[in-house]
Amino acid sequence: MELATNFIPLDTLDVTYLLVVGFIGGLVSGFIGSGGAFVLTPAMMSMGVPGIVAVASNICHKFPKALVGAIKRAKYGQVDVKLGIVVGISAEAGVLYGAHIQEIVHQSFGDAGSNLYVSLAFVVVLGVVGSYVLWDAIKMRHTAGNEPEKASCLARWVQSIHIPGTMVYFKSLNARVSVLFTIPLGFATGMLAATIAVGGFIGVPAMHYVLGAPSLMASATELVTAFVMGVGGTIKFSWSGLVDIRLAMIILAGSLFGIQLGAIGTTYVKPHMIKMVMGTIMVLVLFSRALAIPVYLSELELIDMLEPHFSGALLNISFVVLIAALAAGAAIVFASLWRGISTSRREAALATTPATMFAPDVVAMPTSPQLSPLGRFERFLLATDGSEYSAGAVRESLRMAGKCGARVRTISVVAGGDAELYAMGEQLITKELNTARAHLDDVQRQASAAGVACESEATQSGQVYQEIVSQAERMQADLIIMGRRGRHGLARLMVGPSTVRVIGHAHCNVLVVPRAAELVGRRFVVASDGSRFGDAAAVTAARLAKLCHTPITVVSVIRPEHSEERRREAHTIVGRIVSFLKQEGVVVEGIVPHGRPDEVIVQTANAKNSDLIILGSHGRTGLERVLLGGTSERVIDQARCAVLVVKSA
């Protein structure tokens, strides 16, 4: 029997090509709910498959793929079937209308006009939606942390509108929403699917930003919508006998491997990663289509004719960027999956290792009626990496704990966020942890000898600073004590060592002790800029000075360019703190030197042979810290003595 004229013979290379593209497409679809199929139609056409058969076969592979993906993600509790079906039904209408518009454009303007229409749709939709999704993903990454996603203002407004007779409850929204909102969204999704083959580029952002579904659920629910649309599309095309079932099933063979993997990947990532992948793909596809627009404009004679080789080059580059978009998305999914699985396995390995836990629910009786959290020194968290740089922190934390009667919890966090480390094997991790435990045992022996209550734990985390801050929160530490690495200047800001990040994120005070520093209570230097952070530093200094019977020098630095009013203000600040400290019974002196604050504070500490600098922290992190803050960091960098950074309550 002869092959129908619409269908091409397939060789091994064609089959392999389709399997690979199908796998990558499936991977992306499983992760973001759609977006993996847009490259398949041009990929099949590049093999010589007629356009209409390519579209039909693509749709025929999409619906079973979406079904398998939806079932998989439903097992993880991410799918809202009702929302998917409601949006999917209206999307069917959108598909039919979108296809009708396509036909009209094709009849009126030919192939070039149709291509231009599709490319413009890509550029406009992806330009607006894609850039917003990417921007939102980047914003979430920097600000949201582990907080749950919040519904957008638009979604809250949509959920607040009550139109009798049209309200439906959706579990993903945990709210009732009028179908008068879901119908146009589904219709637009269908129209886009009929135009650029990926309705999810509207469907997922619409469910998330307009209706208020969490991004994970929006991407999973889109698979239901894609299934509904896919069944409708397949019936439509196969009614005309246009589906090449071989192509569809070969692509399906690869894509089902991919979609399972992509769905598994969603369980390991934070919500912003879904948006990151989707936004990245959308923006890259936008560039791909934008590159092709001049060619179609030229064919329609709307601009000067392009040289044939130039047109060909533009179209080739456009196709390569399209492939790159999919590859970039797949690479992010792979990386997220790899990182997530590695971390999860390490956590499982750690869970089986014995660990002595600190008992924070038993609060030690205060040694004095000190009720301010700023000056409380009852629970210390000592973070040590066992290196020579931590030696000062270990020594001085035990000395200070002895004076204050504090309990010490010592932790050693083995960094293990990078995939390479895990790739080197669990033996290496175990070895690192054993080394850390041996060091902690040594610290505990020192603590016992000094009569200090001490417990310890070796742990592992991708982000050392997060683990330290999180442990401090859990045990309600009054003070985190750390060592200092010898990194200075720009490298410090760029590399962002754990100490700096701990200061930025911790809610309690942080004491940074250089290797050779000693905290014997010769003299403390308290720096204040008159803000409440400076006041917090003064309160803490008063408490510590009374414990150690140490005199204090109060410093408020003024710059040469400061006005006379600012100079008077600095004197007032110093006078106020000096009065306060005197009332607390501390021996104190005040000075108002000129110069760069960080340099002058360190010089003063050196000149006074001080063994501790105490200053308040504005608690900035990230870019804001680099641009605005950083006095405390520079002091820590330059000081020979210990520096206590006081975090305002």
Partner 1 sequence: MTDSNTQSAGKMLTRASVYGTVSLALYFLLYFFEDFILEFTSRGGWYFIAPVVIAFVFSYFHGAFTSHFWDTLGIKAKK
Query: Which residues contact partner 1 (rule: CB under 8 A)?
Result: 1-4, 6-7, 60-61, 63-65, 67-68, 71-72, 75-76, 231, 234-235, 238-246, 248-249, 252-253, 256-257, 259-261, 263-264, 267-268, 337, 340-341, 344
* d(C-alpha 143, C-alpha 149), whole Å: 11
Choice between 225 and 540, CB closer to partner 1:
225
* d(C-alpha 538, C-alpha 532), whole Å: 10
Least separation in angstroms between residue 32's CB and partner 1 is 17
Least separation in angstroms between residue 266's CB and partner 1 is 8
CA-only gyration radius of the chain, Å? 32
532: phi then psi, degrees, rounded to nearest 5:
-65, -20
Instruction: Return the amino acid letter for 275.
Output: K
Least separation in angstroms between residue 421's CB and partner 1 is 19
Choice between 6 and 603, CB closer to partner 1:
6
Give the HSE-up count for residue 192: Cα atoms under 13 Å, Cβ half-sphere.
29
Q: Mapping DSSP to helix (H, G, I), strand (E, B) and coil, where does residue 457 land? A: strand
* d(C-alpha 444, C-alpha 459), whole Å: 16
Least separation in angstroms between residue 235's CB and partner 1 is 5
What does the block give as tokens for 371? 């009720």
Choice between 77 and 360, CB closer to partner 1:
77
Q: In whole angstroms, how far apart are CA 341 and each of 337, 419, 422?
A: 6, 10, 10
Least separation in angstroms between residue 474's CB and partner 1 is 22
Least separation in angstroms between residue 30's CB and partner 1 is 10
* d(C-alpha 545, C-alpha 301), whole Å: 83
- CB within 8 Å of 641: residues ≥ 6 apart: 514, 517, 605, 610, 611, 612, 613
Per the CB < 8 A criterion, the answer to whether 282 and 201 are in contact is yes
Least separation in angstroms between residue 573's CB and partner 1 is 52
Q: What ranges in 126-214 are assigned the alpha helix state H?
A: 131-143, 153-160, 179-196, 200-205
Choice between 221 and 318, CB closer to partner 1:
221
Q: Mapping DSSP to helix (H, G, I), strand (E, B) and coil, where does residue 409 land? A: strand
Choice between 245 and 300, CB closer to partner 1:
245
* d(C-alpha 97, C-alpha 72), whole Å: 31
**DSSP-assigned beta bridge partners for residue 479:** 380, 509
Choice between 68 and 286, CB closer to partner 1:
68
**DSSP-assigned beta bridge partners for residue 176:** 169
Instruction: Return the amino acid letter for 242.
Output: L
Q: Mapping DSSP to helix (H, G, I), strand (E, B) and coil, where does residue 376 land? A: coil
Least separation in angstroms between residue 267's CB and partner 1 is 4
Least separation in angstroms between residue 361's CB and partner 1 is 28
Choice between 223 and 436, CB closer to partner 1:
223
**DSSP-assigned beta bridge partners for residue 642:** 612
Choice between 239 and 516, CB closer to partner 1:
239
| Helix, strand, coil percentages, rounded to 5, for the chain | 65, 10, 25
**DSSP-assigned beta bridge partners for residue 526:** 554, 614
Choice between 69 and 199, CB closer to partner 1:
69
* Triad 461, 463, 465: Cα angle to 5°: 110
Choice between 75 and 566, CB closer to partner 1:
75
Choice between 332 and 645, CB closer to partner 1:
332
Least separation in angstroms between residue 23's CB and partner 1 is 10
Q: Which of 428, 437, 439, 429 is nearest to 387 (CA)?
A: 439
Least separation in angstroms between residue 49's CB and partner 1 is 13
User: What is the distance, to the nearest Å, from the Cα of residue 288 to the centroid of all Cα atoms in its chain?
Assistant: 27
Placement of tokens 């796998």 in the chain:
23
Choice between 6 and 638, CB closer to partner 1:
6
Choice between 4 and 305, CB closer to partner 1:
4
Least separation in angstroms between residue 524's CB and partner 1 is 48
Per the CB < 8 A criterion, the answer to whether 472 and 481 are in contact is no
Least separation in angstroms between residue 253's CB and partner 1 is 6
Choice between 6 and 370, CB closer to partner 1:
6
- CB within 8 Å of 529: residues ≥ 6 apart: 556, 557, 573, 597, 616
Least separation in angstroms between residue 240's CB and partner 1 is 6
Choice between 351 and 371, CB closer to partner 1:
351
* d(C-alpha 602, C-alpha 43), whole Å: 65
Choice between 343 and 556, CB closer to partner 1:
343
Cβ count within 10 A of residue 82? 15
Least separation in angstroms between residue 61's CB and partner 1 is 7
Q: What ranges in 355-418 are assigned the alpha helix state H?
A: 391-404
Cβ count within 10 A of residue 497? 16
How long is the chain? Answer: 649
Q: In whole angstroms, how far apart are CA 226 and each of 36, 63, 277?
A: 12, 7, 18
Least separation in angstroms between residue 145's CB and partner 1 is 18
Q: Mapping DSSP to helix (H, G, I), strand (E, B) and coil, where does residue 8 land? A: coil
